[in-house]
Amino acid sequence: MLAVIDGNSIVHRAYHALPPFTTKEGILVNAVYGFFSFLFKVIKELNPEAVVVAFDLAVPTFRHHEFDGYKAKRKKAPDNLYHQIPKIKEILEAFNIRFFTKEGFEADDLIGTIANLAKSSPNFEVVIISSDTDVLQLVDKDTKAMILQRGISQAVIYEEKDVREKYQGLSPKQLIDFKALRGDPSDNIPGVFGIGEKTAIDLVGRFDSLENLYSVLDREETKGLIKKSILDKLIKQKDQAFMSKNLAEIRTDVKIDFDSNFCLWRSYDYEKVAGLLKELGFFSLASRLPENKIV
């Protein structure tokens, strides 16, 4: 099994779930503690053969260039959250756990690409770990998603059947078309104004994809299948619908230096990792370090 962790997602959850404790020098480290406490839990419960982490970069992505309003309504996280990420990366390196970043792309795109590339490895099941349901579009017969529910202590595993149950029959891939119509307020993806969740699910369920839907909009028989008010909205906002789909779709073809063999979780420097944790005051966490194994 390959565990692909959405780094920023887990960092944010840890930061907000734990009290703001600091080192003796007064440096805030709650997100660092929460991240590795959760990582140890993943390693213990899932026992993955390989582990990778994907992080966002603090620079605009291709989505921001395509749509100025992308994520514009999101409140910027506090600096003392972001200041903890370099320490997390330092400890990951000591753990021999690879992490990926790519300018112009989000962590989700790296996760999608890694999941796609891992399919070429025989018998390599992928589990994507995130608090963001956006990654559900990546679920397939070889890929599951573990979605955090509350803080960093509870999670739900989604397979294809679970996604269909949650979204009234829509497949994971159809979630992209669903967002193209419904939009996504959390990312400020507009969708088609005036189309809600129920209508979006109905349209995607009946027409399969955004492309199929728009290919029949001008047919006479279609006018009897879709309310005129909805039809008018679809016609007037066609460009916005397709732009929204492009924003919502997680890329699976980003050029990154990924080789599943290099992501196998091999032996690590136990003393170095323990020392880094103890420097931060994480003595109880250091006592729970995962077994040092060689794959």
Write the DSSP symbol of residue 209: S
Separation between Cα atoms, residue 21 and residue 14, nearest integer Å: 12
Instruction: Supply the pLDDT for residue 295.
Output: 41
The values of phi and psi at residue 61, to 5°, are -105, 180
Q: How far, in Å, are 2, 98, 224 from residue 179 at the CA level?
A: 28, 31, 24
Separation between Cα atoms, residue 252 and residue 223, nearest integer Å: 36
Separation between Cα atoms, residue 208 and residue 171, nearest integer Å: 9
| SS3 of the chain: helix, strand, coil, percent, to 5 | 50, 15, 40
Spell out the domain ranges in the chain. 2-167+250-286, 174-248
Global pTM?
A: 0.94
Instruction: Provide the CATH number for the domain formed by 174-248 in this structure.
Output: 1.10.150.20
CB 110 within 8 A of CB 54: yes
What CATH class has 2-167+250-286?
Answer: alpha beta
Buried b (16+ CB within 10 A) or exposed e, 53-72: bbbbeeeebebbeebeebbe
| List of residues 6+ apart from 119 with CB closer than 8 A | 126, 142
Q: Which residues pair with 264 in a beta bridge?
A: 50
Instruction: Supply the pLDDT for residue 293.
Output: 57
Instruction: Supply the pLDDT for residue 122.
Output: 66
Interior CA angle at 171 toward 178 and 65, to 5°? 45
- Mean pLDDT, contiguous 10-residue spans, the chain (295 residues): 95 93 93 95 91 94 94 86 95 95 97 92 86 96 92 86 96 98 95 96 96 91 86 96 98 93 85 95 93 58
